[in-house]
Amino acid sequence: MQRNKSLPTDRLIIEEEVTNYLKKQGYQVTKAAKVTGQSGVEHIFDMLAEADEYLVHNIIAIAFALNGQKSGIGNIIFDFSNKAYDAGINQRILVVDEETDNKIKALARQKRIKIFDIAQIGTFAQAPAHPPESGTKENVNIESMEQLALSLTRHGYRVREKARVTGRSGVDYTFDILCYHDIDNFGYSIGIDFPEGAAGINLDQVSLFDTKAYDAGTDYKVLAVKSKLNAEAAKFAAQQHIQICQINSETANAPAPPVNADEAVKPAAARSGPLFCLPDALRLIPEIIARRYNAVPLAVSGNELEVAMEDPTNMLARESMATISQKQIKPVIAGKKEIRDAIDLNYRDYSEIERQITHIHIPTGSIDDGILASKIASYTPVVEALNAIIEGAGRARASDIHLEPGENRFRVRYRIDGEL
């Protein structure tokens, strides 16, 4: 049924159409739903829709911006996004009077919000019903990646194995399985990995998975594991709403293992003592960003940037650093004071070395080696740069200093604990 756009929008009618459509798709709908977020703040959503589906419990938050609210729609998007993020809800729908401009659409995409206008809502009533299949609430029996992919396909998901995607930061990621449930207007995606760990799954593994799932924009996150998560990894998975499924176990589809309160008090793998940052890592994150998030880059390894953070669950900080560095962020827990000291010392060393090297004048033409050596020995920028390099090596307790001049750059590397 086409809606006459000249008629005033009646929010109650629109809400009823959305409610009827969602119920027909098998969702349980709650209006003016109250949800307590991770911050402890209670949020009220115009509407929440929930359904048990294969592998996940699907939750959709819905907001309505009708009856002349167009001028303030940007603020509505920000407020809606913030409370949905705090509540751990990734599926977000905003219903508006009419089609929005490109600027608003771009803002909504950035905040992971889908926008529907009332003309689109009017077509939902004609959509066929797709309620969850019988048995989807039962535990999921996972035997292998291939078996899970086949099972997801049978349940109507569009499945990609070893799926490569580019995150919003520009970093490329690979998921063992990436699947899409897109048979209705409110479809969603699930990122799935099968981490290895004979001694158990640790915080680093879970944190890296969470980073790439967030950057890639998947709606739901699932780890299929053979070994149990350690206490800290389990706590982090629960905080970040990561679904844990046990391979070859009747406990599949269960939430993360419970964490003993005493075990959860102390953060895992916290770095103690002075932190030292390699120049290649410092070059990727500006000092102002490091100070803003109280996080300091330590080292680069392939596509990963190891970063010492006081709070590794700060997704805003991790996303910002991933965007700036074009690297996948691997967080390491460290104390607040250690991080501040590392920022003060390492950025000072790096800046001083860089400043002195840029002032070095390289003579042209032929010159006697003895004369050149004599000039260099008394040349202030060279002396100051070498002093800064040696002081940095001493603080890092390095056994060797490697100076590697290149055509367009000068690389300084330290050997620390036997590793370069």
Percent residues over pLDDT 90 in the chain: 19
For residue 46, the cross-strand partners are: none
What pLDDT sits at residue 346?
76
- The CA distance from 285 to 346, in Å, is 12
Whether residues 287 and 237 share a domain: the answer is no
CATH of the domain at 367: 3.30.300.160
What global pTM score does this model have?
A: 0.62
CATH of the domain at 202: 3.40.1350.10
The Cα diameter of the chain in Å comes to 91
Q: Summarize pLDDT for 328-367 with one digit per residue, the tens.
A: 888 888 888 888 888 877 776 555 555 555 555 555 555 5
What pLDDT sits at residue 224?
92
The mean pLDDT value for 37-51 works out to: 90
Specify if 265 maps to a domain: no
**Among all chains, which residue has been given the structure tokens 């010492």?**
308
Q: Which among 151, 124, 121, 33 has a CA at the least distance from the CA of 83?
A: 33
Q: Of 213-217, 223-227, 399-403, 405-409, which range is least confident?
A: 405-409
Whether residues 68 and 16 share a domain: the answer is yes
Specify if 245 maps to a domain: yes
Whether residues 228 and 290 share a domain: the answer is no
Out of 72, 89, 124, a domain closes at: 124
Out of 124, 157, 172, a domain closes at: 124
- The CA distance from 72 to 180, in Å, is 32
Q: Which residues contact 167 (CB under 8 A, 6 or more apart)?
A: 173, 212, 215, 216, 217, 322
What pLDDT sits at residue 131?
61
Q: Which among 288, 404, 295, 301 has a CA at the least distance from the CA of 357?
A: 404
* Distances 169 to 51, 213, 272 between C-alpha atoms, Å: 31, 12, 30
Specify if 305 maps to a domain: yes
Query: What is the total count of domains within the chain?
Result: 3
> Pick the residue with more confidence: 150 or 136?
150
Average pLDDT over all residues of the chain = 78
Specify if 41 maps to a domain: yes
Which residue segment(s) compose the domain that 367 sits in?
Answer: 279-415
> Pick the residue with more confidence: 286 or 362?
286
What pLDDT sits at residue 388?
66
On the question of pLDDT at 250 being above 90, the answer is no
Locate all alpha helices (DSSP H) within 180-239, ordered by sequence. Answer: 203-216, 231-239
Q: Which residues contact 296 (CB under 8 A, 6 or more apart)?
A: 275, 277, 285, 290, 307, 308, 334, 339, 342, 343, 346
Q: Of 121-125, 273-277, 285-289, 364-368, which range is least confident?
A: 364-368
On the question of pLDDT at 417 being above 90, the answer is no
Six token digits for residue 80: 């809606």
